[in-house]
Structure 1
Amino acid sequence: MNKYTDVMKNLFLPVFLLAGSLFASCTTAVFKPAPSANPWDDNYLSVAKMEDYRQWGTYNVHDPSCRKLGDYYYMYSTDAIFGENRREAQEKGVPLGYIQMRRSKDLVHWEFLGWAFPEIPGEAVEWVQTHAGGQGATNIWAPYIIPYKDKYRLYYCVSAFGRKTSYIGLAESASPEGPWTQVGCVVRTDDSTAMNAIDPSVIVDDATGKWWMHYGSFFGGLYCVELNPETGLTVNEGDLGHLTARRAHYWKDNLEAPEIIYHPGLKQYYLFTSYDPLMTTYNLRVSRSEAAEGPFTDYFGKAVKDTTNNFPILTAPYRFENHPGWAGTAHCGVFSDGEGNYYLAHQGRLSPQNQLMVLHLRQLFFTPEGWPVVSPERYAGTPSRRFTEADLAGEWEIIRVQEPRYERQLEAGQILWGEGELKEEEWNLSSRFHLLKDGTCNGEMVDVEGKFVLASGKWSFLTENHLLMLDLGTEKIENLIIFAGHDWENETETILFTGLDSRGRSVWGKRIE
């Protein structure tokens, strides 16, 4: 038993109470799924015109950063818009561009507030275009919000696609809604540097109070640099920091979008990162460290600054029954509600074309081994409740979330033009599996090679801790976290589970009729 298991054993009930309030209510009747309409449609073509922007509450969301500030959750994201038409926007007086802003009180219904800046900061434009032959600096990417004393800091990046010519800047405001005052440059890179100044995420060391910014991309990997808490800029001007994560064939095997959080109960820092092309097989990984600045290790104890692909894998393209499926499921923002419940937000691209970008916001839990896992379904405000073994008996859809197996030709870590749809072997598909009342189980299951096979065995439910255990003979999948949630594909409330197998791959399930 390792030290993380010991910690979780000591904190087991508190952690699960925090990570989803699983024991908020109690019932003795057998659970029956109740029909419940989805909060919104996944296809937003009807409100995709430039003048429809006030209806983009959960639409055109890309690279979200979210935090609860006062009475609202505020979300900031890259200005990526389906069917963007700047001429049409200008003609109709739509203030298009420069960091989208949203807010919500319940994490389900989102109000589109507009854009943070009236223009791309001139210093960023000058740096990028001067060092990229006049190219780039056409929009603002990957903002990150963090409060400091009586003001709010908004980090952002401006870049030229496929180049290391990039700029991370900082703006401040007395309100989460602005107006924003430009403070200056945090880090900037060009073709002479190893790293790429995009995708900032900031963490405050719980013990020392030091500020650290994680950033970077496939160019040279991810880096971490110390910030001055008083200024929000680097402690040492021109400092670009130290390496924290990288992949071997970086030009092809994309790595980007670091997101760093701290879990006070587990006393661990978690570094979420995104692999592969953002429009198709984008998938989410996570590593952890006892220090805000690293070093970080993965599920198997491997250092993520080496060039081995790392696990766990939390999300990847997936398709449940009765839905065309989701691609591009990465570049996340992770946050808590201040009461110990954690959430993860990311883009989801509606298949098959993968052009429409819809907000995916999922509950996030921690396994008994101290690893984060996410809900297989998007959060829709479903009340938490307690379940019994009898509730779990029945038919389930199960997805084994695994890494992409199709080898694509990529440029700068992204797909080539015309390859925006997923190949069939790139999908994580669901299978039907039965938990029988006598404690046995059987059905289809994806094996470790990604093939559908018939499987059977036994199952049990640890009622006190809400953990499902599967013993399939040749494989045991243990500590699957059971909780209540919304079935988006079938528009009903249901029972869900999430967890990891012994190979560090996510296992998702939902109870169906």
Structure 2
Amino acid sequence: MKKISYFLISLFTAFGFTACTDGLDNIEYSSDSGITASAPVVSEKTGFSLTVTSSASGDVNNVVKKGFCYSLNVQNPTIKDNVLDADENFSVTISGLKSNTPYYVRAYIYGNSRYIYSETITATTADVSLEEQLENYVAPDYDDNYTSIATWDMRRQWNLANVHDPSVFKAEDGYYYMYQTDASYGNAHEGHGHFHCRRSKDLVEWEYLGATMLDTPEWVKTKLNEYRSEMGLEPIETPAYGYWAPVVRKVRDGLYRMYYSIVVDNYIKTGAANTESNFDNSWTERAFIGLMETSDPASNVWEDKGMVVCSSSDKEMNGWGRTGLSDWNAYFYFNAIDPTYVITESGEHWMIYGSWHSGFAAVQINPETGKTQTELSKPWDIFNNGSTYGKLVAKRGDSRNRWQGSEGPDVIYNPQTGYYYMFIAYGQLAVAYNTRVVRSKNPDGPYVDMKGKQATSGEDMYPAVTAPYKFSGSYGWVGISHCGIFDDGNGNWFYTSQGRFPANVGGNEYSNSIMMGHVRSIRWTEDGWPIVMPERYGAVPQLAISPSELVGNWELIQFKPTRDNSTNDSNATQYASKVITLGEDGKVTSEAWGNDVAWSFDAENNVISIGTNKIYIQREVDWEASPRKTTIVGGGYEGDGSITNWMKKVQ
């Protein structure tokens, strides 16, 4: 429920966070200081380390210190990245690296009151066996509670901090690029542009790149006031904007498209800003979906292409009245936010969009222009002659209820299964946010869930692929949805979303606005349904799992709707874990499945069978352990998908 949630985030400006210049902007990178550093030379390498050497020349008597900067992602690393001081021979061994992986390395010298950098080299670690990789694996060590680095001047250290509604794709240059809604803890991003970007080579360490849009495109205000003029309303001179939920896709080599949402948060009748004191018995204004394109995402330079679609109504031009703030009978039928974009194998382009109002629409896109295939009609009374604003493909709730508690669709096509999958966010993001999935043979439906119910029926869809959860020894996560689904080009699929801390963690009354980007692996069932792994992706080497490793205690979390926790807004809580044991005798001890249920392991497919239930497993990071370490995790569905099982090996 974005408007309420983002309003809450805006309250946190009371933290006193102010925009300031990153310290990098004040570092002098000088080649005129009378001192130079030679490009590093790799003198020795292993699968997990690089020994590099440089030399200084010139006014070396004024050298205060020297060393090396290195990074997996940043092509010209500085002292704001990974840094090691050199020994007296201007040499250092960089350890804790990943095998067969290229790193950017350059030497630095501090002298004459400035930093001097050498040329950057690319150095690749040696290739080693999976056994050695797993034995030497180092888990990510960044703190999920990132409040100490949440401010703008610390953005170089954010990694996946301050991520919300992410969309990810893999580009031609081998990087994964991530884009997001304008949201951050304490509004640290404000005044620094919109739809911020970061990139990664390994999906674990991310480099912050900055905003893709510096100022609101002029067409938004122009188009808004054109419609208002036709409706007989006064123009809004200073609209209040929100910047939400982009989707970014590679269209082809040299062409990438971003569909973004800009919401106008002013009342329709008077044009006043959306506050309770300004309420004028009207709904707030329409949202717009626009398009930007780039040929090179590394440049972070995007060209705006204008409007694609806007919020549309079936209540005619002036049906925007509202009896009160508790009246949820929305004026708009299709709400033009939360776009997703999919290209079919036959070359058709489709955009699916919508949020909270009457459901999601699928509209065909012209591949050349990126705009709708059919010219849009006026955005009111849209069903008189067939809607150019799209076809209903999913909704939640009774058709008489226009406030339906679902948003954030993301649609992908998996050629391995032959289905289009729509992932849908349910509920408000403070706690209840959870993700459902439906599938279809066509991008515009009909989509059905695992039970065979159509997504347009209004019934809740199953299975749930994520939900608020808590393994033991942790605060757990809530608000885990509005996902982006992407692949690596080699048949491996991933789920990304934000995760939020629960309320009042560590005495912080604003902890529910700590939003960390999550990336998780997806396994696919033999029936072609996606299973999102219960722990975040850590690039753990996938050495074959032996049956003996499975014996012992596991934590089991079941997304199992009950009277006390149906993951609805009114009673949503985190699903907690219970301990179960896989015995050497092939029997399970568990409260969930009883004590005499047999278990077995299909090592070829990495599947544990527990009675009739299958758990699809892989190696992953135990993020709750201290220190973090590798473990085995898995997930699966019971029966028709009514229950989702997540498991993690703990002993």
Q: Which TM bucket (shorter chain)? A: 0.7 to 0.9
Amino acid at match of 1:145: V
Work out the CA distance in 2 between the residues paired with 1:217 and 1:38.
35
Q: Does 1:366 align with 2:524?
A: yes
Residue equivalent to 1:5: none
Query: CA deviation digits over 1:433-459, x for unaligned, max 9?
Result: 0000001111333x8xxxxxx654221
2:591 is aligned with 1:435: no
**Partner residue in 1 for 2:182:** 79
Q: Is 1:101–2:197 an aligned residue pair?
A: yes
Q: CA shift at 1:164, angstroms? A: 6.5
1:398 positional shift: 0.7
Aligned residues: 456
Give the alignment of 1:357-436 within 5 angstroms: 357-403=515-561, 426-436=573-583
* Kept after mapping to 1: 8 A contact 2:357/2:403: no
1:84 deviation in Å? 1.2
Match of 1:268 in 2: 419
- Offset, 1:205: 1.3
* Alignment CA distance shift 1:115-1:402 (3 Å): farther
Q: Distance in 2 between matches of 1:327 and 1:253?
A: 20
- 1:126-157 per-residue CA deviation (whole Å, 9 max, x = no partner) reads 44577698586423111111223422211101
Matches of 1:25 and 1:304 in 2, distance apart?
46
Residue 602 (structure 2) pairs with residue 462 (structure 1): yes
* Cα displacement (A) at 1:402: 3.4
- C-alpha deviation, 1:189, in angstroms: 1.5
> Could you tell me whether the CA contact under 8 Å between 1:459 and 1:469 is conserved in 2?
yes
Q: Is the 8 A contact 1:79 1:100 kept in 2?
A: yes
Query: Where does residue 77 of structure 2 map in the other structure?
Result: none
Q: Hey, what's the Cα distance between the residues in 2 that align with 1:328 and 1:200?
A: 20
1:204 aligned partner, one-letter code: I
Deviation at 1:351? 1.8
Secondary structure of the structure 1 residue equivalent to 2:341: strand
User: Is 1:167 equivalent to 2:302 in the alignment?
Assistant: no
**Structure 1 residue 408: deviation in Å?**
10
2:161 is matched with 59
Partner of 1:197: 336
Aligned to 1:158: 262
- TM-score of the superposition, structure 1-length normalised? 0.83
Tell me the distance in 2 between the aligned counterparts of 1:335 and 1:403.
28
Partner of 2:372: 234
> Cα RMSD (Å) of the superposition?
2.7
TM-aligned CA deviation for residue 124 of structure 1:
2.1
Cα gap change, 1:122 to 1:82, in 2 (>3 Å): same
1:112 maps to 208
Opposite residue 186 of structure 2, the aligned amino acid is G
Contact 2:431 2:478 in 1 (8 A): yes
* TM-score, with length taken from structure 2: 0.66
> Contact 2:565 / 2:573 at 8 angstroms: preserved in 1?
no
3-state DSSP of counterpart to 1:142: strand
The one-character-per-residue Cα deviations of 1:222-246 (angstroms, maximum 9, x if unpaired) are 0100000000000111121100000
Matched, 1:142 2:280: no
Q: Is the 8 A contact 1:120 1:139 kept in 2?
A: no
Unaligned runs of 5+ in 1: 1-23, 90-94, 448-453
Q: 1:136–1:159: 8 Å Cα contact kept in structure 2? A: no
**Residue 451 (structure 1) aligns with:** none
**Residues 34 and 492, structure 1, Cα contact 8 Å, conserved in 2:** no
Matched, 1:319 2:488: no
- Aligned mate of 2:514, from 356, 377, 380: 356
Task: Tell me the residue number matched to 1:477.
Answer: 613
User: Is 2:308 the partner of 1:186?
Assistant: yes
Aligned-pair identity (%): 36
Deviations 1:441-499 (A, max 9, x none): 11333x8xxxxxx654221112222211112xxxx322x11211100001110111111
2-side partners of 1:301 and 1:25: how far apart?
A: 44
The CA distance in 2 between the partners of 1:311 and 1:408, in whole Å, is 13
Q: Does 1:69 find its partner at 2:171?
A: yes
Q: Look up the match of 2:5.
A: none
Whose Rg is larger?
2
For 1:364, what is the secondary structure of its paired residue? strand
Question: What amino acid sits opposite 2:586 in the alignment?
Answer: G
Judging changes above 3 Å, is the alpha-carbon distance between structure 1 residues 408 and 388 closer, same or farther for their aligned structure 2 residues? closer
Shift of 1:306: 1.0
For residues 307 and 240 of structure 2, what CA distance do their matches in structure 1 show?
A: 15
The Cα of 1:120 is off from its aligned counterpart by 1.7
Q: What is the CA deviation profile of residues 246-268 of structure 1, one whole-angstrom value per residue up to 9, with x for unaligned ones?
A: 01155554111111111112111
Pairing partner for 2:147 from 45, 53, 61: 45
> 3-state DSSP class of the match of 1:305?
helix
In 2, the alpha carbon distance for the partners of 1:97 and 1:406 equals 42
- Deviation (angstroms), 1:54: 2.6
CA contact (8 A) 2:358 2:402 kept: no
> Does the 8 A contact of 2:361 with 2:392 survive in 1?
yes
Structure 1 SS opposite 2:154: helix
Distance 1:125 1:347, change over 3 A: farther
Matching of residues 192-341 of structure 1 within 5 Å: 192=315, 193-206=332-345, 208-238=346-376, 239-249=388-398, 253-341=404-492
CA–CA distance in structure 2, aligned partners of residues 407 and 393 of structure 1: 31
Greater alpha carbon shift after TM alignment, 226-235 vs 166-175 = 166-175
Contact 1:128 1:137 (C-alpha < 8 Å) held by counterparts = no
SS of 1:302 mapped into structure 2: coil
* Contact 1:226 1:234 (8 Å CA) reproduced: yes
Residue 119 of structure 1 deviates from its aligned partner by 1.0
* 1:503 Cα offset (Å): 3.9
Give the conservation status (yes or no) of the 8 Å contact 2:356–2:405.
Answer: yes
Within 2, Cα distance between the matches of 1:443 and 1:145?
44
Instruction: Give the residue type in structure 2 aligned to 1:463.
Output: A
Contact 1:316–1:403 (Cα < 8 Å) also in 2: no
